[in-house]
Chains A and B, each alone.
Chain A
Amino acid sequence: MELNNSKIKIKSKNLNVYYGNKQALHNINLEINNKEVTALIGPSGCGKSTFIRCINRMNDTIDICKVDGSIEIDGKEVNDKNVDVVTLREKIGMVFQKPNPFPKSIYDNIAYGPTIHGIGEKKDEMDKIVETSLKKAALWDEVKDRLNEPGTGLSGGQQQRLCIARALSVNPEVILMDEPCSALDPIATAKIEELIDDLKKSYTIVIVTHSMAQAVRVSQKTGFFHLGKIIEVDTTEKIFKNPANKMTQDYITGRFG
């Protein structure tokens, strides 16, 4: 057993995922540390997004998807029948490749989550949640005077931070990010990376990225996926300076295929 069990927030054991007859993940054993950033890298279709979608059971929404094996958060099985998926997703926020604000005001984008979870029923309580969430996402100063304008009117980078603020509004413990910067320019990317640095003090973050440089900049631990298998997991420094596995080395140095 692990000596510092309390450090581990998420743990997958022999996790297999199938889309119909096609197996997308093979026996994934991966530990994600608490209040750290874990980067998942690998070529397209290697299973990294499928893996993070197992953490908040997003794969439930796909009919032909079958998950077996175990994935635990704080030692509790996520796939257990008794787990309420809505509560689970309150605990695990998610941010996607393309910013996807609701076609509502900036304020309502943030208020939506707390409302459906029955938090912040009083106006001043909700105001506080909106302000705090936007501040945590480093967006408050840019939008505080136009909270009633549509979220879709913001720039791409601001929209992505709005989506992060929306995820933060329900006090999650884990934030999953699936290529959060791939649609953003370098300045907007830098702002998100700065935000990730700040957020990791309070949240456990798992980020899927195609940018090696980004993985090096933001993460402490990196996992390399290939053809649905996890090939190597180690400290980010080790992976990018001196990986143990040749396949990892070939991928990160651009020698693949």
Chain B
Amino acid sequence: MSDTGHTVKSYAEEMQSLNDDLVKMGSLTESQLADAMEAVIKLDKESVDKIVKNDSKINALRSAIDNQITTVLVKRAPMAVDLRITISTMKISHDLERIGDLAKSVAKKVTPLPIDLPDELVNSLRRLGDLVQKQLKDVLDAYLNNSKEKAVEIWRKDEQVDDLTNLAMNEVANYLQKDKKNLEVATHLLFVTKNIERAGDHITNIAESLYYLIEGEYLEGARPKGKPLDS
């Protein structure tokens, strides 16, 4: 992302290090989300601990990036594209950290789930999870390729995330309607669904930060919204 044309080499190195840490953080977050989704789909309770533990690696990188940014701000008073890289890196790292938290929460919900969930339910979660994972991969690729077109595309696609969220929520509602004893499990599943959807929202934030980084302007217009639940 950052070219290394600074007259002061150490400035270029600081910007490069920010970039490297953000890329590392992105890739860790991507695996965390993938692992959490796999745990839900396969109802794999064994992997929960590992996912919960790994979250601290993401948090540590967030803190490291925050520290580096404070140093860059005070040492370099970055201007123009450097300023935008600094500000956007800070925002993107916070969104990645939140996605990491949400992946952890999703994984933790696997423990109380029964292993014989209906296929429709699992499938609806899988579809939503696949799309959000694709969105995260795409936004990280867009960052690496400095692509504002991709950023806009990903930003628009959040509408589909909302639609799949509504479908998954409907499946949970059906499951609950079948038997009131399903209430506890249904509640967990609603949290899982909502957390995946919120990860999607953070991905949209990242797309916005990336667009600002590249264009120096904010993505205009209201964020796309999916259809309401009962339509």
Contacts of B81 in A (CB 8 A): 249, 253
Contact A240 B5, beta carbon cutoff 8 Å: no
**Among A213, A241, A248, A255, contact of B6 (Cβ-Cβ < 8 Å):** A255
A241-B84, A242-B217 known; A252-B6 Cβ under 8 A:
no
Q: Which of B6, B215, B216, B217 contacts A253 (CB 8 A)?
A: B6
A253 near B77 with CB under 8 A, answer no
Size class of the contact patch on chain B: 10 to 19
Q: How far, in angstroms, from A249 to B216 measured CA to CA in the complex?
A: 12
B83 neighbours in A (Cβ, 8 Å)? 240-241
Asked whether A240 lies within 8 Å of B84 as measured between CB atoms, the reply is: no
Complex Cα gap A202–B83 (Å): 33
Asked if B216 and A254 make an inter-chain contact with CB atoms under 8 angstroms apart, the answer reads no
Chain A residues within 8 Å of chain B by Cβ, number:
17
User: What is the bound-complex CA distance between A216 and B77, given in angstroms?
Assistant: 11
Segment 214-255 of A: residues with Cβ below 8 Å from B: 216, 239-243, 248-250, 252-255
Contacts of B77 in A (CB 8 A): 212-213
How far, in Å, is B214 (CB) from chain A's closest CB? 10
Shortest Cβ gap from A181 to chain B (Å): 16
A252: which of B5, B79, B216 is its contact (CB, 8 Å)? B79
Decide: B80 and A252 in contact? CB cutoff 8 A: yes
- A131-170 toward B: CB 8 Å interface, digit per residue (1/0)? 0000000000000000000000000000000000000000
Query: Interface centre among A239, A249, A250, A253, by most B CB within 10 Å?
Result: A253
Contact of B159 with A by CB under 8 A: no
* CB pair A242 B80 closer than 8 Å: yes
Assess whether B82 is interfacial by the CB under 8 Å rule.
Answer: yes
The CA-CA distance from A240 to B7 in the complex, in Å, is 18
Contacts of B222 in A (CB 8 A): none
Q: With both chains docked as a complex, state the minimum distance between the C-beta of A210 and any C-beta of chain B, in angstroms.
A: 14
Cβ-defined contact, B80 with A254, below 8 A: no
Q: Are A255 and B79 in contact (CB under 8 A)?
A: no
Asked if B226 is at the interface (CB within 8 A of a chain A CB), the reply is no
Interface residue from A213, A241, A256 paired with B80 (Cβ < 8 Å): A241
Using Cβ atoms and an 8 Å threshold, which residues of chain B touch A213? Answer: 77
Q: Are A253 and B79 in contact (CB under 8 A)?
A: yes
Contacts of A256 in B (CB 8 A): 7
With a cutoff of 8 Å between Cβ atoms, the chain A residues found around residue B74 in the complex are none
Partner of B7, one of A239, A248, A254: A254
A212 to B83, CA, bound (A): 13
- Given the known interface contacts A212-B77, A240-B79, the answer about A254 and B84 at a Cβ–Cβ threshold of 8 Å is no
- Residue from the list B7, B76, B84, B216 in contact with A255, Cβ < 8 A: B7
- A118 within 8 A of partner (CB): no
CB distance from B199 to the nearest CB of A (A): 30
Within 8 A of A (CB), among B199-217: 215-217
Contact between A254 and B11, CB atoms less than 8 A apart: yes
Query: Does A20 make an interface contact (CB < 8 A)?
Result: no
Residue interface mask B169-203, A partner, CB < 8 A = 1: 00000000000000000000000000000000000
In the bound assembly, the distance between CA atoms of A249 and B85 in angstroms comes to 13
Closest to B8 in A: A254
A144 to B154, CA, bound (A): 66
Q: How far is the CA of A241 from the CA of B83 in the complex (A)?
A: 7
Give the contacts of B1-54 with A (CB-CB under 8 A): 5-8, 11
Distance between B213 CB and nearest chain A CB, rounded to angstroms:
10
B5 touches A250 (CB 8 A): yes
How far does the Cβ of B146 sit from chain A's closest Cβ, in whole Å? 15
Instruction: Tell me the complex Cα distance, A100–B85, Å.
Output: 42
Q: Tell me the bound Cα distance from A243 to B81 in angstroms.
A: 9
Q: Which residues of A contact B216 (CB under 8 A)?
A: 241-242
Report A32-65 CB contacts with B as 1/0, cut-off 8 Å.
0000000000000000000000000000000000
- Give the complex CA separation of A254 and B2 in angstroms: 13
Indicate whether A253 sits within 8 Å of B78 (C-beta atoms), given known contacts A242-B216, A242-B217: yes
13 CB contacts below 8 A, A to B, read A212-B77, A213-B77, A216-B79, A239-B80, A241-B80, A241-B83, A241-B84, A242-B216, A242-B217, A253-B80, A254-B8, A254-B76, A255-B6
Binding site for B on A (CB under 8 A): 212-213, 216, 239-243, 248-250, 252-257
Q: Which 8 A-B pairs have the closest CB atoms?
A: A242-B216, A255-B5, A252-B79, A253-B82, A249-B80, A254-B7, A240-B79, A253-B80
